[in-house]
Amino acid sequence: MCPDDAQRSRRGAGTAEGAHAALEDPTTKYPRPPFREQHQPWPGLASKMQPRPDHGETSYRGSGRLKGRKALITGGDSGMGRAAAIAFAREGADVAINYLAAEQADADEVIALIRAEGRKGVAIPGDIREESFCEELVAHAVKSLDGLDILVSNAGRQQAHRSILEISTAQFDWTMKTNIYAPFWIIKAALPSMPPGSCIIATTSEQAYDPTPDLYDYAQTKAATMNFVKSLAKQLASKGIRVNGVAPGPVWTPLQVSGGAAPEKQKHFGGQTPFGRPGMPGELAGIYVQLADAQGSFATGQIYGSSGGSGQP
């Protein structure tokens, strides 16, 4: 048995005969802190992290829940965006991902995984802080996928600062443009192409309702994201388009090692949760699938949390 097959077996992939999945203890399923100190320049690469995050590369098994669907995911190279891209492809969807040029190495891995499932994988690098690029991004995705019915607004900027006095106007503007302006521009551009039955999924955070003092600007943007989910869901309900959000707790992604967490916080990252560890992006993949699946058609304006026992939604 090859290593990947062994890992799939350990993680409980069912067989055609209906074999039961093996139970796993969530407290020991993934690495626990302390982690070694590490730093990467923004925006960071998952492929260079230790331990390397699990996005479901070998563990996620699909069952055709999104067959024929067409998805655009911002920040699709790593973190929750990558986990969603892998899961969507394995559920039968074609997927376009957006990312920064510096993240090309991670994006190449994601596109290869999507195409390995026999699905169309479209790579669209670019900076979503520019309104013109956001419009081009959507147009490119719609043309390449021959339509669009799932939009995952996931890309985000997070930088830790001990004091508001350390945040420059330029840094504040960078966070706001990435986390608030870009979803506004992208959703506006996408809506004319999204038919009834489509869905929008936004990645918010536990920071939206339980902010830490070192993420003053980031936490504001995630509260805004949570709010736009609830507002836009009401606005688009009559058009048959659902809008929901996912609120992760501490999840091990490049955000943490590229300035999103101070060295001491990074060392003990996730240790404060009842599980005593951070989550891995792959543990949230099923939430994005559930929110995209037409079988969840009565869910709109909802925030689905996943924070190891310490969250509110």
What's the CATH code of the domain at 287? Answer: 3.40.50.720
Q: What is the DSSP letter of 243?
A: E
Beta bridge partners of 153: 202
Residue 53 belongs to a domain: no
Write down the catalytic residue from 216, 218, 288, 304: 218
* Active-site residue, 288 included: no
Using DSSP, state whether 295 is helix, strand or coil. helix
pLDDT band at 19 (very low <50, low <70, confident <90, very high): low
* Alpha-carbon span 11 to 7, nearest angstrom: 6
The pLDDT score that the predictor gives to residue 18 is 52
Q: What is the count of structural domains for the chain?
A: 1
Average pLDDT over residues 2-8: 40
Q: Write out the residue range of the structural domain in which residue 145 sits.
A: 67-306
What tens digit of pLDDT does each residue of 217-252 get?
Answer: 999 999 999 999 999 999 999 999 999 999 999 999
* Backbone torsions φ then ψ of 223, nearest 5 degrees: -65, -40
What tens digit of pLDDT does each residue of 44-96 get?
Answer: 999 999 999 999 999 999 999 999 999 999 999 999 999 999 999 999 999 99
> How is the beta sheet containing 199-203 ordered, strand by strand?
121-125, 94-99, 70-74, 150-153, 199-203, 242-248, 303-306
Residue 61 belongs to a domain: no
Mean pLDDT rounded to a whole number for the chain? 93
Higher pLDDT, 6 or 273: 273
What tens digit of pLDDT does each residue of 244-276 get?
Answer: 999 999 999 999 999 999 988 999 999 999 999
Element (H, E) at 152: strand 150-153
Other CB atoms within a 10 A radius of the CB of residue 80 amount to 29
Residue 300 belongs to a domain: yes
